[in-house]
Structure 1
Amino acid sequence: MVQQLTTSATEVHLWFLDLQQPLDVDMSILSDDEISRLNTFRVSEQKDTYLKCRYVLRQLLALYINKPPSSISLSYNSFGKPDLTYNPSHISFNISHCKHSAVIGITKGSIGVDIECKTGQSLIEASSLFLNDEEMEALKFTPDPERALLHLWTQKEAILKAEGTGFSSSPHAITGYVTSSVQLQNAEVNHYHLNSFMRGDSIVSICTSTSVNIKQLDFSYELLKHNALTSTING
């Protein structure tokens, strides 16, 4: 039997999922509303991404709250951010995906995560939609503006996801770090803390309410067996 997993307000478990990895998905653990949502996707790749992300999310959350994956109940705020309805361990989570990668952050306290691929669409023409005047000026002196823009985007999305609003709130109200060096370590923005790093060809940003240590973990279906998840975290 797999042991229960634990985290704290000063630790983030950042689970990475290779979406190209085959998974033996048991559809019975999904809720009715997740099945309904799944059936709205018309593009097979989007459907596969949603299915794998929700399946892995339920498998992981089950290990942190010590309940069967199928019994986990999720509630949603007015902006659509999910949270655990039954949450005796007081954990929070957030999920993001980009092309063939997904990431699930689990901690205690507020959290927002975002992953964006460097090979995606240029943000130069759309920069005025999410950069404020101070950031626009700083961008002029950045050696790699495309990378700095993508870095800023992930910072702002992580913060807005931690707040629970997403881009329903204005990103212009946030002044992030205009830098093409993706190496933030508990950098302060308002009352939040930002961490960012490169993961292959992707930029990852994590927003939390306190300074945290981040543990990067690779999810595999095989880890669900023989206490492998526990040894992976403790190793």
Structure 2
Amino acid sequence: MTDPVVRFEPVDRHADAGLLTAYELGRRDRLVRATDRAAYVAAHVLVRRCVAELTGLRLADIRISQVCPTCGVEPGHGVPLVSGHPDLQISLSHSRHHVAAAAAMAPIGIDVETIDEHGRQDVVEAALSAAEQAWVRAQPDPHRAFLRLWVRKEAWIKCGNASLDDLAAIDVLSEDAAAPDHTAFQEWSIPDAVGAWTAVERQPRVDLWSVDATRPRISADHRDATHRPARRTRTGPGVPNLRGTPHD
């Protein structure tokens, strides 16, 4: 099986919006802030680049749509897909300053968050298990620690393993929460942003734009957790919207 392609990049404010469909452009135009509109376009162009690298398709021939598995409406809300290529799986995410995207031949999920605001305690309590909350409180930067867990949970949801209603029940710190058919969570981190992805079975080629991107240690005993499987399990910048859609 072909390895997935995974990318984390800064927002390209010159990304070619002409590659997007009319539906995508309509969603972009409903965003209030110019920075959010730029990030939306950058993420949707980046996921096309990932698909092109994976498959050899031309960027102009890649049509991204969304189909809700419940109502079946297309285009609409729901999981993003590549029209005409049902075996392809994609995932994308955008914050105000950073975007992420992935393409694979099996389920994959990715998320990125910019660290530019302080979180609220009620959001932490709604999103994290008791053990995760305790871990966050013990960290020197609790907001960053929270977002490192948040991006893992979002990636897990986007991979099709849970819903937003399951957030607090998903323990991404647990040592024994193995999912043997998935890769372990992989983390991406720079001073002002964090990201994570997970996929079924295979490791991706990762193209990181930061020369100092790291994979932080996250377990309580400080062993490297980035290669350890976690239980199966978007948001704008700052505090995530718990009721929002996990698919960008």
Above 0.5 in TM-score?
A: yes
* Long gaps (5+) in structure 1: 1-6, 179-186, 219-235
Structure 2 unmatched ranges of 5 or more? 69-76, 210-248
**One-letter identity of the residue aligned with 1:100:** H
- The alignment of Structure 1 onto Structure 2 pairs a total of residues equal to 200
Read off the aligned partner of 1:32 and give its amino acid letter.
A
For 1:99 and 1:31, the matched residues in 2 are separated by 22
* 1:188-207 alignment runs, 5 A limit: 188=178, 192=182, 193-207=184-198
Question: In structure 2, how many angstroms separate the alpha carbons of the residues matched to 1:65 and 1:14?
Answer: 14
**Alignment-derived partner of residue 94 in structure 1:** 91
Amino acid in the other structure paired with 2:20:
L
Aligned 8 A contact 1:156 1:176 in 2? yes
How far apart are the structure 2 equivalents of 1:136 and 1:115? 20
Change (3 A) 1:121 1:144: closer
1:175 aligns with 2:171: yes
1:15–1:105 CA contact under 8 A, matched in 2: yes
- TM-score normalised over the length of structure 1: 0.70
TM-superposition CA deviations, 1:161-191 (whole Å, max 9, x none): 1117652x3212211128xxxxxxxx84586
What TM-score comes out, normalization by structure 2 length?
A: 0.67
Deviates more, 1:76-85 or 1:141-150: 141-150
Task: Rate the CA distance shift 1:158–1:123 in 2: closer, same or farther, 3 A.
Answer: farther
**Is the aligned partner of 1:18 residue 2:10?**
yes
Higher relative contact order (CA 8 A, sep 6+): 1
Query: Residues 13-50 of structure 1: CA distance to partner in whole angstroms, max 9, x if unpaired?
Result: 2223321x4526252x3222112222222322222222
Deviations 1:141-161 (A, max 9, x none): 545433322211111111011
- Does structure 2 conserve the Cα–Cα contact (< 8 Å) formed by 1:31 and 1:70? no
2:22 pairs with 1:32:
yes
**SS of the counterpart of 2:194?**
strand
1:56 to 43, 46, 60: 46
Which structure: greater helix fraction?
A: 1
SS at match of 1:126: helix
Across the aligned residues of Structure 1 and Structure 2, the Cα RMSD in angstroms comes to 3.2
Cα distance in 1 for residues equivalent to 2:58 and 2:188: 33
CA positional deviation for 1:125 = 3.8
Q: Is the contact between residue 35 and residue 96 of structure 2 (CA under 8 Å) also seen in structure 1?
A: no
From 57, 65, 68, the equivalent of 1:67 is 57
In the alignment, which of 208, 219, 231 is matched to residue 199 of structure 2? 208
- The answer (yes or no) to whether the contact 2:7–2:100 under 8 Å persists in 1 is yes
Query: Which letter does structure 1 place at the counterpart of 2:192?
Result: D
Highest Rg: 1 or 2?
Answer: 1
Specify the SS of the correspondent of 2:185.
strand
Letter matched to residue 85 of structure 1: S
- The residue type paired with residue 31 of structure 1 is T
- For 1:99, what is the secondary structure of its paired residue? coil
Amino acid of the structure 1 residue aligned with 2:61: S
Which residue matches 1:147? 144
Asked whether the 8 Å contact 1:176–1:189 carries over to 2, the reply is no
Among 104, 108, 112, the alignment partner of 1:111 is 108
Identity of aligned residues (%): 19
